[in-house]
Every structure is written in structure tokens, then in C-alpha cells.
């Protein structure tokens, strides 16, 4: 049976992130291109044994939870170092801090290619 016969599509207008598989993690597609998004760090979280799409897994993942936002930002090394330089290496001091998120289109992916990624200002 053809999928189009059993599942009717619906018109969609909005950010391309609305067309991807649901995720708890913030992705570059979730942010408006060319604009900063101001957020307040509510909490710093540590997850163990996190599995991502395509089978990639990490034993420990740090993430930021933002006030009033559902999705969390996984902390890569670049963003973590930016927070350390800006606020301190003590993550307790990150809570309540305001930061701006933006999309950088020249980020090295874990696979070695260039992709878009979220950066902190």
C-alpha cells in the first residue's frame, strides 16, 4: 500500500526544524538564521551514555537547560570553553547568566566535514 494513500500530508510553514524527527536537543535548524537568540541558563546538566542518531554514542554529555525553553543545548568543547572564559570554570556560576545563541555555518562536524552548529556569544 502506498504511504500517500493511508497518511495524508498537511501544509507546513515554519522553521525547517519542525520537519525533523523530534529531539530533546537544540539543533541549528531550531534557531532563526542570521539572528541571535537571547537565553538565560537555568541549569547545567550531565548525562551518561547518550546515544545519538546514526549510532554515535558518548559516555558523558554536558548540556544547558534554558529558562522557558524545552530543548537543551549539548555542550561541545568550543561552547564549554567559551562559558569558562566568560563566567568561570565553576558551573554554579553559569546559572542565571544570559547568553546569546547563534548559528555558525562553518563548524567542523564529528565526522570531519563542515556543517552548521550552534555557538555562544
* Residue bearing the bigger pLDDT, 113 or 45: 45
Taking only the tens place, the pLDDT of each residue in 88-111 is: 999 999 999 999 999 999 988 877
Contact 120, 83 (CB under 8 A): yes
* pLDDT score for 35: 95
* Residue bearing the bigger pLDDT, 4 or 44: 44
**First-to-final CA distance of the chain:** 50
For residues 34 and 23, what is the distance between their CA atoms, to the nearest angstrom? 23
Task: Give the pTM.
Answer: 0.80
Residues of the chain with pLDDT > 70, as a percent, come to 91
| Sign of the C-alpha dihedral computed for residues 110, 53, 17 and 60 taken in this order | negative
Q: What is the mean pLDDT of the chain?
A: 89
Amino acid at each position: 500500500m502506498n504511504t500517500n494513500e493511508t497518511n495524508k500530508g498537511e501544509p507546513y510553514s515554519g522553521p525547517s526544524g519542525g520537519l525533523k524527527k523530534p529531539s530533546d536537543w537544540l539543533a541549528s535548524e531550531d534557531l532563526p538564521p542570521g539572528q541571535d537568540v537571547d537565553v538565560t541558563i537555568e541549569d547545567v546538566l550531565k548525562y551518561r551514555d547518550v546515544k545519538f542518531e546514526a549510532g554515535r554514542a558518548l559516555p558523558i554529555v554536558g548540556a544547558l537547560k534554558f529558562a522557558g525553553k524545552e530543548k537543551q543545548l549539548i555542550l561541545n568543547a568550543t561552547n564549554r570553553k567559551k562559558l569558562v572564559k566568560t563566567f568561570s570554570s565553576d558551573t554554579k556560576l553559569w546559572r542565571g547568566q544570559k547568553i546569546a545563541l547563534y548559528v555558525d555555518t562553518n563548524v567542523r562536524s564529528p565526522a570531519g566535514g563542515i556543517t552548521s552548529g550552534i555557538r555562544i556569544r
